[in-house]
Amino acid sequence: MRNLTFPHELVSLLKRTSKLAALTGAGVSQESGLRTFRDAQDGLWKQYKPEDLASPEAFARDPKLIWDWYAWRREAVKGVRPNPGHYALVEIEKRIPEFILITQNVDGLHRMAGNKNVLELHGNIQRVRCSDCDTFAETWDEGNEEVPKCEECGGLLRPDVVWFGETLPRNQLEASVEAARICDVFFSIGTSGVVQPASSLAHAAHNQGAVVVEINAEQTTLTPKTDYFFQGKSGEILPELVKAVWDH
């Protein structure tokens, strides 16, 4: 663990701020050992393009293939645990009166770590809903030879994630935009800043006068607009930041 120091102005701001929004991306989950969507496409899945495994058209064409892919990914997530970056965000939530965590990740690790105010822009791979009536399924038979069906209408069940060509859940997106618009501080953590509309949130916060803090393994298109940029792993930087702000 490297010895990190943080600007006094940032530490002072975080001590007194009451409204903070944080956006997290794949980099946060990767530190827990979870491979990204594309990285996970090895072995049996290597022959497929991402669009072949994550679009309404693909599901209509071969629902069993898509169901099996997401069943495999759900199993992979079961062996993964939150990392220190996740737990640091839980600590920040405890200390900031109005804290909103916006995530592009579908693994559910933020909730597992203990965050309560979470907006899941791209859904959650652990949830399953009907492809026809949108009813959520509490249980389903994973070992079935066929794609499980909805108990309400008989439609095929699908993962509750946003596929290519689908719009983000409106309530989650609207709440995210509002959080970015009214926050005093905005954190962008482990995200490339190229996936819309999530990537526009930091810019919206910046345009409204919020202080923007970026934590990422490398610089992004957002970096020039940030007030503070910390290069490295969020699992190292966030815990140190929490210590610097609240443990001194």
Q: Which residues are catalytic?
A: 122
CB 124 within 8 Å of CB 108: yes
Give the residue from 227, 234, 238 showing the smallest Cα distance to 190. 234
Q: Which alpha helices (H) appear in the chain, and where do they start and end?
A: 8-16, 26-30, 50-53, 56-61, 63-78, 84-95, 109-113, 170-182, 199-207, 234-246
Count Cβ atoms below 10 Å from residue 119 Cβ, excluding itself. 19
> At residue 100, what are phi and psi to the nearest 5 degrees?
-125, 130
Count Cβ atoms below 10 Å from residue 60 Cβ, excluding itself. 11
CB 13 within 8 Å of CB 210: no
